[in-house]
Homo-oligomer: A and B are copies of this chain.
Amino acid sequence: MKYQIDVQTRSKEDFVDITQQVRDCVRKSGVQNGVCVLFVPHATAGLTVNENWDPSVKADTLATLDRLVPWRANYQHVEGNAAAHIKSCLVGTSETLLVDAGNLVLGTWQGVFLAEFHGPRRRQVLVRVIPDVEAR
């Protein structure tokens, strides 16, 4: 019950909505009740759950992260992408979601996003859906 979601990001910084792909993984797994663990194997990206109805939320979040952790500052990291690493640390590289009656559980306004902090790149999101004991 392991899956991979491939994402081609289109800009330097972006939140890419992967909710439908995560829902598909849960459906394919056949798990009725359990958890869905997502992990992004990249040190300049992250995962977040937030409102996916109004796209201004992602614009505001990216702008705020950029104000708090500007791309250019007095960083030591030689590759020039220290800001992307720091944002990854703040946003996090994993999410654990719940699965109920065969469906991913999210609030009405919530979606799952890959957070790109140094794109555009090809990114992967690794997924594992684990059944609770009730489902066995």
The residue that A1 contacts in the complex, of B41, B42, B75, B132, with Cβ under 8 A, is: B132
Interface secondary structure of A, over-half rule: mixed
Inter-subunit contact A107/B42 (CB<8 Å): yes
* Known pairs A1-B133, A97-B94, A105-B126; A57 contacts B41 (CB<8 A): no
Selecting from A5-13, A17-25, A83-91, the interface stretch reads A83-91
Name the residue among A1, A64, A98 with the largest chain B CB count within 10 angstroms. A64
Give the Cβ gap from A9 to chain B, nearest Cβ, in Å: 15
Please indicate which of the listed interface residues A1, A39, A126 has the most CB atoms of chain B within 10 Å of its own CB.
A39
Binary contact track A60-91/B, C-beta < 8 Å → 1, others 0: 11001000110001011111001001101111
